[in-house]
Chain A
Amino acid sequence: MHVILDALAMIGLSYVMGFLFYGFYRQFSARVQRRWGPSIWQNFFDNMKFLLKSETLSHGPMFFFGPMIIAAGAITTVLFVPFLKDSDWLQGFSHSGNLILIVYLLVVGPLGNALAVGSSGNPFGVMGVTRGLTRLMGLEVPFFLGLALVMLQHETTSVHAIMAAQDGIAQWNLFTNPIAFMVILLPFIASQNASPFDVVGAPVEVYAGPRVEFGGRLLGVLMTQNMMMTIAKLVLVVDLFMGGATNIFILIAKAFSLFLLTAAISLAFPRLKTEQTVDFFWKVPLGLGVLGVVATVWFPWGA
């Protein structure tokens, strides 16, 4: 009973935080562009509207199961990321999993996307997926290298143990291992589909995103999982670099401050092309990551 309630609470919390954070992002970007912008609930309205629309087109069973696979991947990721430290609640199944499992779960989304869009046969959609997988190739390597740096530093793959090792603010990995944070930050933004690495689903002006063929309910499911996945990744980075959170308000505050940082970076830089993205990721964050590994493994002052 406790497990079910806990899982539902995590899914609900990640959804609510998801649409509020995205609503905030839209309003924030509107103010930067000197306009009023939509209300903070706008993403909730959009999502509900899509979930309540009709769905008349079909491209066979895979077109339907693709979004379901992506959504299942997102929900599983949410359930394997511990939201709170030293608490019985909001843990999900995180005691049975570790960071390596989460790394695997993060790739389920793009794969489901490729399956669904591939079965739709829309050339624009396939173009979008190609771009998405190319970007994935660029961002995964530095992202996982950053995670590996953290695992190497603490010599464990358990998110709980890494959280427990960061007691005070001075022990946060953000300060004890800033290279890992710098390595992970930009791939993290890219994995959130945010500018400047958002060429894949370029929201309004590029017709060729992976979602081009989805409308109605399936698009609603995709939006829902996207918001939940965003929160899961934010909480994961908070757990790994900012010492986790002991209660829900600290969690929201920490996740929000991280979100604010990524949003500010997103709004300051214009969009990069796909090959520029991959070039950038394989030069700057990956180079930094290799330096970080060398420093952690070979030099006494690392770790």
Chain B
Amino acid sequence: MYHNNHCEGFQCEQRMLEASLGEEGGELGVLDRLVAWMRQRSLFVLAYGTGCGAIEMRPLMTSRFDAERFGIIGAATPRQADVLVISGYLAVKTLKRVIRSYEQMQEPKYVIALGSCAINGGMYWDSYNTIKQVDHYIPVDMYVTGCMPRPEALIEGFAALQEKIKRGEPGGFQRYRENIDWYKGNQRRVLGDNMPPDYTYDWYHAGGTA
């Protein structure tokens, strides 16, 4: 791919990452594909503005970037949201709130980690009270890199997430449900006795959709 002259540098990397996104989902039935298609057209976003990413979230809804044309619109409460955008670093204290918000969302639900702080700690890599890898505590579906990413990058992330939903790939919420003990163990390691109450996730143990 690097020998092609239609892309260079990070563009080629981006294409390699997105190469699988355009493939047709052969494993889904007609009805499932229809449902998946309608789901990806309508994403209600719960913006969890922790760090500087909150500033990049707001322009998305304005006339200039207009995320509504992709069916992306803000949701008032976690109960109505489909996508949780974690925009920036998470302190240990905010992680607890993120977990509670995430567990209140109705399935299917997705998480976008925005910026390098949410991916590997970023500039807070050696901080004592910052979460380094959000993916260890709640399942992340899509990463948007940058410090901070532009709103266009975030729209790219949403578009990639929509492709993923359209193809019916198992979302992070299924991973969370299957590996709930692992996630809870990780959460307990940083939060200690300060864990969120059981009733927000105990239905995961009941099996199936409660």
Which residues of chain A have a CB within 8 Å of any CB of chain B? 26, 30, 33-39, 41-42, 44-46, 48-49, 52-57, 203-207, 209, 211-216, 219
Contact = CB atoms under 8 A, between A and B. Distances in A.
A5 to B, nearest CB: 26
Given A54-B106, A56-B209, A49 B39 contact: yes
Contacts of A53: 82, 106-108
Given A37-B68, A57-B79, A215 B105 contact: yes
A54 B107 contact: yes
A103 B38 CA distance: 36
B76 A35 contact: no
19 contacts: A30-B68, A35-B63, A38-B69, A42-B41, A45-B41, A46-B42, A49-B42, A54-B107, A54-B108, A56-B106, A56-B107, A204-B61, A204-B75, A207-B77, A209-B76, A211-B80, A215-B79, A215-B106, A219-B79
A31 B69 CA distance: 11
A46 B75 CA distance: 12
A207 B76 contact: yes
Nearest to A26: B68
Contacts of A52: 35, 38-39
Interface residues of B, number: 32
A56 B69 contact: no
- Chain B CB within 10 A, most for which of A26, A34, A41, A56: A56
Given A30-B66, A35-B63, A38-B69, A48 B79 contact: no
A214 B39 contact: no
Given A52-B35, A53-B108, A38 B71 contact: yes
Interface string B128-148: 000000000000000000000
Contacts of A33: 63
A29 B5 CA distance: 43
A128 to B, nearest CB: 10
B153 interface: no
Interface of B: 35, 38-39, 41-42, 44, 61, 63-64, 66, 68-71, 73-82, 104-108, 203, 209-210
B69 A37 contact: yes
A50 to B, nearest CB: 8
A35 B59 CA distance: 13
Nearest to B76: A207
Given A207-B76, A212-B79, 8 more contacts: A38-B71, A45-B41, A49-B82, A57-B79, A204-B76, A213-B77, A213-B79, A215-B79
Q: Which 4 A-B pairs have the closest CB atoms?
A: A215-B79, A35-B66, A216-B106, A45-B41
Contact of A214 (B79, B105, B203): B79
